[in-house]
């Protein structure tokens, strides 16, 4: 029963996520559990669990006296968050790259292989979530910049929905695997300047793709 229930909840998560990301559910729109349960032909329990998971992803927010609503998805926010990420993550990589060990590269390679498998399987949740974070964090792991790392972790949490949007809707599933592979190869070669440049390009290209998609969605919604 537990496996069936978990699968049902995940299906509900994916259905509501897609509605938010494609604009069918507008920012600020209330998410009525009873109505969603009826529409998706499930009980309220998986709907409630799905909304809590989507809150953790930043797509849903819970407010007192209002319940769950779809979060704002803003092209302006994308620019600021991704540009900060590009600066700070390149700084972490610059400080880390010369200290990375052979074991670190083996672990990064293993992370990347799992990431590529998830991408190939169309598993956007894994590809844009834990596996993506593990891969990048391994490359930054020797930076010895704890405050910068903490800020980057917060920024990554803030933009997780945009990263997922990039993979699902803005072509990232085609470009990200090659860009990750290039980044790892440059890090292995200790090409610090080129690796940092590739990382910045990777993050800022995603920003441009997502911004274009969001601006198109905003135009269609007005």
DSSP 84-141: HHHHHHHHHHHHHGGG--HHHHHHHHHHHHHHHHHHHTT-HHHHHTHHHHHHHHHHHT
Give per-residue pLDDT as tens, 162-210.
777 766 665 566 677 789 999 999 999 999 999 999 999 999 998 888 8
Q: With a threshold of 0.75, does the pTM exceed it?
A: no
Helix (H) or strand (E) holding 69: strand 67-70
Q: What H or E segment, with its residue span, contains residue 61?
A: strand 60-63
Q: How far apart are alpha carbons 179 and 14 in whole angstroms?
A: 26
Tens of pLDDT, residues 62-105: 888 788 998 877 777 788 889 999 999 999 999 999 999 999 99
Q: Among residues of the chain, what percentage have pLDDT more than 90?
A: 46
The per-residue pLDDT for 142 is 97
Query: Cβ neighbours of residue 69 under 8 Å, at least 6 residues apart?
Result: 28, 29, 30, 31, 60, 61, 63
Q: Is the pLDDT of residue 1 over 50?
A: no
């Amino acid at each position: 029963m537990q496996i069936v229930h978990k699968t049902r909840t995940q299906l509900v998560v994916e259905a509501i996520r897609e509605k938010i990301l494609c604009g069918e559910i507008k920012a600020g729109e209330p998410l009525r559990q009873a109505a969603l349960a009826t529409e998706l032909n499930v009980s309220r329990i998986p709907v409630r669990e799905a909304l809590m998971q989507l809150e953790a992803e930043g797509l849903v927010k819970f407010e007192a006296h209002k319940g769950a609503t779809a979060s704002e998805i803003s092209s302006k926010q994308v620019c600021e968050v991704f540009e900060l990420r590009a600066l700070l993550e390149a700084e972490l990589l610059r400080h880390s790259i010369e200290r990375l060990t052979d074991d670190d590269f083996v672990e990064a390679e293993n992370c990347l292989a799992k990431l590529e498998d998830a991408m190939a399987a169309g598993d956007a949740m894994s590809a844009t979530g834990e596996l993506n974070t593990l891969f990048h964090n391994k490359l930054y792991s020797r930076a010895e910049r704890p405050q910068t790392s903490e800020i980057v972790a917060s920024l990554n949490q803030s933009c997780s929905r945009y990263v997922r949007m990039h993979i699902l809707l803005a072509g990232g599933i085609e470009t990200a695997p090659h860009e990750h592979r290039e980044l790892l190869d440059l890090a292995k070669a200790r090409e610090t300047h080129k690796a940092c440049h590739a990382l910045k390009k990777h993050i800022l290209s995603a920003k441009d793709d997502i911004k274009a998609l969001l601006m198109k969605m905003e135009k269609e919604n007005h």
